[in-house]
Structure 1
Amino acid sequence: MTDAPGSSDLLLSIAGAGTEYRLCLPHLLPEAIDQAAMLAAAQAVLAQNSKSESAQALRAQSMATFMLLCAGELDAAEGVLDRVIAAQAAMGDARTRSASELRLVQVLQRLGRVNEAVRLASEVVAQQSNDSPVRHFALHHLGKALMQAGAHGEARAALVEALALRLALGNAELIASTRQALTLLESRPLAATPPHEA
């Protein structure tokens, strides 16, 4: 399932043992170390929470879609996210809806629907105040989507702002992730015209 050979040195986990993943080249998108274990974990979370529309159940379903993404189950992840985002919007749960939308950004990237990913990530960033706890995530994912779209200048600006916010938070894992994206961006040749503007 990897887009190209190579992955980050960061080993991450969304929900403990069996849900470890790496960010893989060329776009630093998540991929499960053990796809079968990740898929089983996602299915268990969905089975436990899919009959409820409570805020907690919707958050759990959203987390499960990230596991589906890591396991390569993109259509399933998109379908669940569409439903979860609509329910969170109806509840007025803006913060958790933003987290779900950022998961959808990654699904869209993996599906090659980069223009949609950039548009959605841009909308999420625009909804965040400067002191929003979600802003650094939104900027980070916008930067990665812009990088995939070939809009390197815009990507760099978003990632630099995300890194500044993450440095202020002091979270080493998040800082390392954004630094890795910036390093990857600096290694790429500049595109003459960003594809999403063509």
Structure 2
Amino acid sequence: MAKFLFTYRLTPHATTAIAPAEMLMGRRPRSLLDLTYPNINSRVQQKQQRQKQSHDKTAQVRNFNVGDSVYILSHNREAKWITGTLIKRTGLVSFVIELNDGRTVKRHQNQIRHKYDQYSDNKLPDISEIPDIPIPSVSNNPTDVEAVCDSNADSSDTNDNSKSVMKPSVATPRPTRTRKPPNRYGDFVYN
């Protein structure tokens, strides 16, 4: 009786053209007859192709070649990323990198980043090329600001290089509240 009901519920209904079990569960349950279907591989390939397309939308292509300058993830506390050069490929996704200090380390491609520069020619800018920009200091005390403005007016007449630098004002401590322990046992009476 159970086999009969199972096959009956798998059979598409004449009115709805959908099997009752499929309407109930939202999928078609497998039977012995499903094992004889020769076209199951094409369905699997279609599903894998859809999965690949959705994966490729967000996947990053990482192509590393021997001799590339890269940043690698450091496992010590000195710096998070260290520069080095790829010297050998040891597998599909693993590399040997020679660091700038002469050490060689092995890293997975997830721990390697290209050493790109956002400016030009894939080179990082030299520190000597970066101009020194004076950073103005800010003070909340109006008397310090007036004193600096007066000193800047006097010094601009004599020499521009001798500008005074404001010293940060010392903040006065905030008032503290008076603290007292809670009166837990104040109402307790000894007999």
Same fold (TM over 0.5): no
Between 1 and 2, higher relative CO (CA 8 Å, sep ≥ 6) is seen in 1
- Structure with higher strand content: 2
Q: TM-score, normalised by structure 1?
A: 0.19
- Structure with higher helix content: 1
Please say which structure displays the higher CA radius of gyration: 2
